[in-house]
Structure 1
């Protein structure tokens, strides 16, 4: 990198740092902002409308007004092809399109509001072109986690017969959580509330099963409702997620249980999480996750002085660690979830992120340039508190590791359905966190080494012949399978030095990234982002997020040859041009929420780019 490019990079990184620091809350952490979601809005509208139509409860005018505002938001979201996408920058998909159709029908029944005739005709044409119900089932394969809720929503709206909705074994929820993986549940681990509520709605309204089993299911209703209540967080929102909470509320409404405590608290969550534009986001926020990522990005700057590291920030991050067994998944204490809100569930991506962030902050505390405890003894106490939290998190990760050596998201050994299986990006992140050493971690050093060794073997087996790794929670909507090898490969490479991946595997992965670089110097992206920016006269293909991740990964893995160095330089130039044009303030939907629900996060391009430019300045 020549002096001119270094000067530009330094100036751009200073700008990004300023923008990130301006986004902090009063106590020094970050919250970010998730995209408004047509999918979430449709499910929330359906849930509130179902209470009006079926709930057998008094619904105030303010709730009816929320239905109307939600429909108005949806009217403005329809794509040119007639379908609806998950976010304002998402391609149409059949799942969201069906949910909007159901929301329109229920809103019409509840308050006389619906999409216009032309919009409905275009929507119907899109659905038919996409294969109808068969196309919906094809999108999700054998995983019923999202197909059955969508069809339940349609049945509640009167669009299909209840007998078309698959029966779910809600009675299995009476068993201890430790047995769920043995019962071969047809839904992923995080969907138990939907399994219970939707399963019961289908039991009440669908074709009756044979007498002995019908009796078993009827006897299980009360006990499974107790499970549903125990799983519900203080906020009322399961996982802080609008779709999951909405499916529970509408299922209870259609069985005339709108006054049940679960339904009341779910409705309270929906009321409190509606945005000013009449929409709902896919989840409330990712505060813990984006804070961990931001800390790592700021600390990657070779000139970083740690002034952002306050005692309040450290204590906030420590407070996000779950210290009791979690009622939702049965997870043991020690992990972190994606937010500090009550609906978060500890997982194997946020836990490593928090551990690595605490490692960064501990370094600043020990150097004396970070937060200022009242005394040297207070400083030592804070370091010991961080060390204890790190070790708890590492123990949690070690226990979560699957037999195949990889890490799942929430529950060990749950199954092979999407978002429950072991994944490469989570595995690399967990392994990286297990390399963190602190004074109180010596007693788990052997277990950590063994876990890393098994994880390394899993990654070796999972690497594709072209050198790439595929991630779990991130995708690219322009790729045929909606996967994102740039993200997955970048995340594994980012950990490669710390976890000693084989040179052959690293070389293959680096070659994949270098060969995947676009003509504009960036990575990823595709036709949808090109169309989005066409109005400015640009012909851009790459995304800021994926480019930043790729640059970070190539630098972190050591580069090592002229092609790698040239790829870094071209990537850095793309990022600098994007910052100068303001593209880093326009996040792109590369994030997957549960069951392939797209989202974008306002801070991702800022965080990823700051980390990449900081790493680039560290390199020679």
Structure 2
């Protein structure tokens, strides 16, 4: 049987070539994402409100697809392959009732029964998402308008308050609150502030529309685009925005009549693919030059005033998207690992952008600095990624931004030794990236890092891989099913443990590496799992490029440290 090092080399070679085969001519890496129940239900409901005649065939096909996607228990999951959950079930059954009631009687009845089994819409833990579910149920006639709490449209009058409390939800919030202000007008003194706020809300939506190049895609995501389109159509407001959003929804439909969760994740996929390939030894490969050029082209050249974000960062999609810390940090790590990084102006500008987006407390959030919206940040996972990007780019561990971030991170450990990660499944992902960042920032021996390291070691499964961790599995067994290892969590855990000083020849590392090798598919790829978060605690989705990139990163680091260990081994000791 080949030595483990030879198996790793073969896995890296096959994995890299399979990943490169997914690279497009423009340098972006592709994937095959599953269809989204939420995106599909939202899209057909919006088109039904905005353009029922012109979009009749799309609405009918989408409704038929939803009926086919309904699970045997009567519910729907967030994406194809996921178990049923209350958010997708609420929206899907409502969409069928609104758009195709005559053909969907049994499907709607089964969906309502499954929603009741969940404990009704009140089982949705996020208040804003629960309100969205109630909106759809109200439009379907299952709730009364008075059952919906009034959205405080006036919050848009105070930009800082709106950014910190609404953040990336600005577009759907503004559109839904506008619709409420028309269909259920304010009375008394609130009529004055409501009238002022309506003008400001429309300007915010227009600013987003202009920033995105008048596409109407509202972050290139069918779900928020549908919410904006639906709300404005119901209120008979902003016909230009309604038409643009409806056009985007028509353009982004899949051949089978469904819609994605997010239509364009080119920069997300390409950043993880690039960092994985670089770690695996492909930094000098000419094919990555196209990806570097993609990153250069897509660096934001204009401020995104809606979120008070200056130019210099990256979105998850293209050059006119919503700049975010997570993708920006990963892209910076990739640019730093490619040849000529010391002369890369995009890297330099991006590093300044990243440090400028750091929260006053030292952390990083996803969209808005010092946000108060829990789903935006501050996030241990994103903060760890910020630390890693700065260190990858050559900043010393003594750098002020690195140290203030590490100091904040040291205060965020949960009692069991884990860390949260807002945009990936808890808790292995957050614990792993935090441990790796702390180790590289000069804290490998700190008690916080030691507890995180021990938790990861204790959480390794019998087969050698890692899953979400026993606590998460216990809490959400009904949703995630059996406790199984995933490529992403195994790769993240291995990478962190090696960075934290666990010897590559140790049993936990060797077992984990063996699991990754055995999990590789015949074509050289790895099967992704639903570890990426779309709606926290309610909807996760897979990303194949992330799975492949993380696997290559872990295998590449193992190979590098194995070579270092071999080169420093005393020949006499080795002979014994």
TM-score, normalised to structure 2, is 0.89
Q: Could you give the per-residue CA deviations for residues 109-142 of structure 1, whole angstroms, max 9, x where no partner exists?
A: 6xx5x4351x333212111111113223xx21xx
Q: Which runs of 5+ in 1 are unaligned?
A: 54-58, 367-382, 476-483
Matching residue of 2:404: 454
Name the CA shift for 1:599/1:105 in 2 (closer, same or farther; >3 Å).
same
Which residue does the alignment assign to 1:161?
Answer: 144
1:32, 1:287 within 8 Å by CA — same for their partners in 2?
no
Q: CA deviation at 1:512?
A: 0.8
SS at match of 1:609: helix
* Distance in 1, Cα, partners of 2:230 & 2:181: 15
Tell me by how many angstroms 1:532 deviates: 13
User: C-alpha root-mean-square deviation of aligned residues, in Å?
Assistant: 2.8
- Contact kept, 8 Å, 1:32 with 1:603, in 2: the verdict is yes
- Give the number of aligned pairs: 553
Whole-angstrom CA distance in 2 between matches of 1:533 and 1:205? 40
Describe the shift of the 1:571–1:530 C-alpha distance in structure 2 as closer, same or farther (beyond 3 A). farther
Alignment of 1:58-97 (within 5 A): 59-60=53-54, 63-97=55-89
- More off after superposition, 569-578 vs 492-501: 492-501
1:594 positional shift: 4.6
Q: Which piece of structure 1 moves more, 423-432 or 29-38?
A: 29-38
- C-alpha displacement at 1:540, in angstroms? 8.1
For each residue in 1:176-230, what CA deviation from the matched residue of structure 2 results, as whole angstroms up to 9, or x when unmatched?
Answer: x34535xx74xx3011111211112122223x43322123213432342122111
The 1-side partners of 2:19 and 2:504 are apart by: 33
Of 481, 484, 487, the match for 1:544: 487
Deviation at 1:85, TM superposition (A): 0.6
> In structure 1, what is the equivalent of residue 361 of structure 2?
404
Match of 1:519 in 2: 462
SS in structure 1 of the partner of residue 410 of structure 2? helix
For 2:284 and 2:336, locate their aligned partners in 1 and report how far apart those are by CA, in whole Å. 13
CA distance in 2: counterparts of 1:94 and 1:356, whole angstroms: 37
Moved more, 523-532 or 324-333: 523-532
Quick one: which of 571, 579, 594 aligns to 2:520? Answer: 579
Q: Is the 8 A contact 1:180 1:414 kept in 2?
A: no
Q: Assess, with a 3 A threshold, how the Cα gap between structure 1 residues 32 and 581 changes in structure 2: closer, same or farther.
A: closer
Q: Is the contact between residue 270 and residue 291 of structure 2 (CA under 8 Å) also seen in structure 1?
A: no
1:248 aligns with 2:228: yes
- Post-superposition CA distance 1:417-452 (Å, at most 9, x none): 3222211111111112223456xx8xxx89x82221
Q: Distance in 2 between matches of 1:471 and 1:75?
A: 33
Q: Residue in 2 aligned with 1:393?
A: 350
Of 121, 130, 138 in structure 2, the residue corresponding to residue 147 of structure 1 is 130
Asked whether the 8 Å contact 1:591–1:598 carries over to 2, the reply is: yes
Relative distance call for 1:528 and 1:66 in structure 2 (3 A) is farther
Query: Structure 1, residues 308-366: CA drift from partner, whole Å, max 9, x if none?
Result: 45543322211211122114412011211112153x211111111111111111xx247
CA contact (8 A) 2:167 2:367 kept: yes
Task: List per-residue Cα deviations over 1:537-561 (Å, max 9, x = no partner).
Answer: xx98211221122122212222149
8 Å Cα contact 1:153-1:247 kept in structure 2: no
CA distance in 1, matches of 2:14, 2:265: 23
Distance between the aligned counterparts of 1:260 and 1:401, measured in 2? 38
The match for 2:269 among 265, 286, 290 is: 290
Contact 1:241 1:283 in 2 (8 A): yes
Q: Is 2:312 aligned against 1:356?
A: no
* 1:391-427, Cα deviation, whole Å (9 max, x unpaired): 3222222222223221111111221x32222111111
For residues 192 and 203 of structure 2, what CA distance do their matches in structure 1 show?
18
In structure 2, distance between residues paired with 1:163 and 1:331: 37
Asked if structure 2 preserves the Cα contact closer than 8 Å seen for 1:75 and 1:115, the reply is yes
Would the aligned equivalents of 1:419 and 1:472 in 2 still touch at CA under 8 Å? yes
| Cα distance change, pair 533–191 in 1 and its aligned pair in 2 (3 A) | closer
Secondary structure, counterpart of 2:543 in structure 1: coil
The whole-number CA distance in structure 1 between the counterparts of 2:475 and 2:544 is 18
Give distance in 2, aligned partners of 1:87 and 1:133: 19
Partner of 1:321: 299
Aligned to 1:180: 162
Matched, 1:598 2:576: no
Q: How does 1:153-302 map to 2 (within 5 A)?
A: 153-175=136-158, 177-181=159-163, 185=165, 188-206=166-184, 208-232=185-209, 233-234=212-213, 235-257=215-237, 260-302=239-281
Q: CA offsets per residue over residues 236-286 of structure 1, 9 Å max, x none?
A: 1111111111111111121234x7111011111111111112111111122
Secondary structure of the 1:461 match is coil
Matched residue of 2:156: which SS?
helix
CA contact (8 A) 1:33 1:603 kept: no
Quick check: 1:295–1:360 contact (8 Å CA) kept in 2?
no
Counterpart of 1:134? 122
Instruction: Write the distance in 2 (CA, Å) between the matches of 1:464 and 1:347.
Output: 26
Secondary structure, in 3 states, of the residue corresponding to 1:598? strand
- Looking at structure 2, the residues matched to 4 and 531 of structure 1 have their Cα atoms a distance apart, in angstroms, of 40
Match of residue 41 from structure 1: 40
* Segment drifting more, 210-219 vs 66-75: 210-219
1:501-524 C-alpha deviation (Å, 9 max, x unpaired): 241332222211110011111110
Answer whether contact 2:359 2:369 (CA < 8 A) is retained: yes
Distance 1:47 1:501 in 2: 51
Q: Distance in 1 between matches of 2:439 and 2:474?
A: 34
For structure 2, which runs of at least 5 residues remain unmatched after alignment?
563-576
Q: Distance in 1 between matches of 2:256 and 2:524?
A: 23
- 1:305 to 1:132, Cα distance in 2 relative to 1, 3 A: closer
Partner of 1:371: none
- Secondary structure class of the residue paired with 2:40: helix
Deviation at 1:467, TM superposition (A): 2.1
C-alpha separation in 1, matches of 2:428 and 2:61: 38
- Give the structure 2 partner of residue 372 of structure 1: none
Residue 81 (structure 1) shift: 2.2
Q: Does structure 1 residue 566 correspond to structure 2 residue 507?
A: yes
Q: How far apart, CA to CA, are the structure 2 residues paired with 1:575 and 1:24?
A: 23
TM-score, normalised relative to structure 1? 0.83
Aligned partners of 1:532, 1:194: CA distance in 2, in Å?
27
Q: Is the 8 A contact 1:165 1:202 kept in 2?
A: no
Judge conservation of contact 1:34–1:285 (CA < 8 Å) in 2. Answer: no
Residues 500-515 of structure 1: matches in 2 within 5 Å? 500-504=442-446, 505-515=448-458
CA drift at 1:604? 2.4
